[in-house]
Amino acid sequence: MNLHLQNLHVLITGGSKGIGLACARLFLEEGARVTLVSRDQANLNSAKESLGRSASLWKDQIRTLSADLQDPLEAQNMVDEVQNVFGPVDVLVNCAGAARRTPPDELTAQVWLDAMKAKYLTYIHVMDPLIKQMAQRGKGVIVNVVGMGGKVASAIHLPGGSANAALMLASVGLASAYARKRVRVNVVNPGLTLTERLQEGLMADAKVQKISIEDALKTANDRLPLGRIAEPEEIANAVVFLASSRASYINGAVLSMDGGLIPMVV
């Protein structure tokens, strides 16, 4: 299936590893031009090198830029620089930021604030300028990779889950507000996915349950209807489809990707 993504400019925040990097690989395979953004330039260099090894032709399709998206001015400067160098952004994929998982008896006001900065504001600071520019051009797509923690409360992920829930509301609201401007906004909510962040969650889970990390991992796999945790590429498949013209009538959707763990009607 041709997704009609050739030569489109895709900006991926949090694109140096995990789901963001998996998305980058798929977009490149579809012929898109990709800009990866992360706070850590070393991680970006590693990501670019790993992608470049896959196909030498991609080297001219990839740009990287380091920025702290918790700072609104730095996020705005990043958006300006990206577009000045590589042209207008056609697709924004937000994967940046993750709130630290914290057992409830260790929560403080600062932990709640840090979660909103790490997850919610990193997305908002990039979406705000870009969606307005997309609207002026009369086209654009935003896909926010959020997380099931915003739909189902977890005792070790309450601040992060609250940020996720706020992001879902903002995403759906923006989808409605900008639909007439031909800008689509959708959300993908992964469940457990085999990324570096998973280890942090397993450690917090193990601490609360007073079990080993190995046992926490086995328990996580055993309770999933599909019997296994998702691969980053499986989440990326959905993101790339939603970004494509094949999903032209999907707007304001919140797609749960937890393998059927939480059977809900929305």
The verdict on residue 104 lying in a domain is no
The verdict on residue 82 lying in a domain is yes
For residue 157, the number of C-alpha atoms closer than 13 Å in the C-beta half-sphere is 25
Could you list the beta-strand ranges (E) of 108-241: 140-145, 183-190
In eight-state DSSP terms, residue 148 is G
Q: In this structure, are strands 183-190 and 33-38 parallel, antiparallel, or unpaired?
A: unpaired
pLDDT of residue 196: 73
Q: Which of 47-61, 99-113, 158-172, 252-266 shows the lowest per-residue confidence on average (mean pLDDT)?
A: 47-61
pTM above 0.85, yes or no: yes
The verdict on residue 228 lying in a domain is no
Mean pLDDT of 95-115: 89
Kindly report the number of other CB atoms within 10 A of residue 189's CB atom.
Answer: 23
Identify whether the C-beta of residue 232 lies closer than 8 Å to the C-beta of residue 21: yes
Range of the domain at 155: 9-98+117-191+235-256
How many structural domains are present in the chain? 1
- CATH number for 164: 3.40.50.720
What are 129-183's pLDDT values in tens digits?
999 999 999 999 999 999 988 888 888 889 999 999 999 999 999 999 999 999 9
Identify whether the C-beta of residue 204 lies closer than 8 Å to the C-beta of residue 101: yes
Q: How confident is the model at residue 31 (pLDDT cuts 50, 70, 90)?
A: very high
**Adjacent-strand bridge partners of 143:** 93, 186
Give the strands of the sheet with 62-66, arranged side by side: 62-66, 33-38, 9-13, 91-94, 140-145, 183-190, 254-257
pLDDT of residue 223: 82
Query: What's the maximum distance between 2 C-alpha atoms anywhere in the chain?
Result: 54
Q: How confident is the model at residue 53 (pLDDT cuts 50, 70, 90)?
A: low
The verdict on residue 106 lying in a domain is no
From residue 14, give the alpha-carbon distance in Å to each of 29, 80, 132, 153, 224: 19, 18, 21, 24, 26
The verdict on residue 94 lying in a domain is yes
Could you tell me the two tokens for 77? 């400067």
Mean pLDDT of 220-234: 86
The verdict on residue 49 lying in a domain is yes
pLDDT of residue 266: 62
Mean pLDDT of 93-105: 86
| CB-neighbour burial class of residue 153 (10 A; exposed 0-12, middle 13-18, buried 19+) | exposed
Length of the chain: 266
Mean pLDDT of 214-227: 79
The verdict on residue 204 lying in a domain is no
Residue whose entry in the numeric block shows the structure tokens 């889970």: 205
The verdict on residue 2 lying in a domain is no
What are 181-207's pLDDT values in tens digits?
999 999 999 988 877 776 666 776 767
